[in-house]
Amino acid sequence: MAINQLSLSVHEGEIVGLIGPNGSGKTTLFNLISGLLKPNNGKIKLSGVDITNLACHKICQMGIARTFQLTKPFAQMTSLENVMVGKAFGCSSTWSMKEAKDEAERILEFTGLEDKSMTTAGTLGIADRKRLEIARALATNPKLLLLDEMAAGLTPKEIEEAMELMNKIRDLGVTLMVVEHVMKAILGISNRVIAINAGEKIAEGAPRDVVYNEKVIEAYLGKEEDGKFFM
């Protein structure tokens, strides 16, 4: 069972970090929230509205956008065209190509990709592809943005820049839920952290309290019979 009796809430204006070892259910949870998967039981609500059985595009139009751990750009389209897609089909969709283009250009500037606007998305480096994922998601005008391992594979400088961008997004009024293995990023941006293992919540609270929680350390490192952690 990928997710088992997991109950959590995300409050408006927060950055919530979601941590756990590989296979703990983090991406599955994002797939459930965004509608890519449907739960066997339980409910998912956005601002009190039950969205459990809605299609992915309906959930997006209601205000939830997400990125993917493995970036999924429209590879043969330019960065600008990728972001225009988000504007055309998101929460505040438009059929005006000029409006979509103007908004896409603004978002590319916001995410630091203005000089890559006419670059074919499939040729971008990993850091720029991750920024493009965020830009396209932002173009849907989300209330809640789900970011899946945006710091993975980045250099230390790129991680700092990614953290800065996440804080800028929160300052826009967008709530963020962030799956991340880079603890520097989790500790640097999160207001609250939730840790899961085997699909169950094992800790929740202030970032440092959760990261140094014994159950969380055990989930990552394992434990010998004498109580010592594997290293």
Q: Give residue 231's pLDDT band: very low, low, confident or very high (50, 70, 90).
A: very low
* Residues 147-205: tens digit of each pLDDT: 999 998 999 999 999 999 999 999 999 999 999 999 999 999 999 999 999 999 999 99
Please indicate whether residue 94 or residue 57 has the higher confidence score (pLDDT).
57
What pTM did the predictor assign? 0.91
Q: SS3 string of 61-105?
A: HHCEEECCCCCCCCCCCEHHHHHHHHHHHCCCCCCCHHHHHHHHH
Chain centroid to Cα 154, Å, comes to 16
Task: Using the predicted structure, report yes or no on whether residue 225 has a pLDDT greater than 70.
Answer: no
CB contact set of 12 (below 8 Å; sequence gap of 6+)? 143, 175
Q: For the residues 65-75, what does the mean pLDDT come to?
A: 93
Q: What is the set of domains in the chain, with CATH numbers?
A: 1-54+143-231 (3.40.50.300), 73-141 (no CATH)
> Which of the given ranges, 89-98, 110-119, 213-222, has the highest pLDDT on average?
110-119
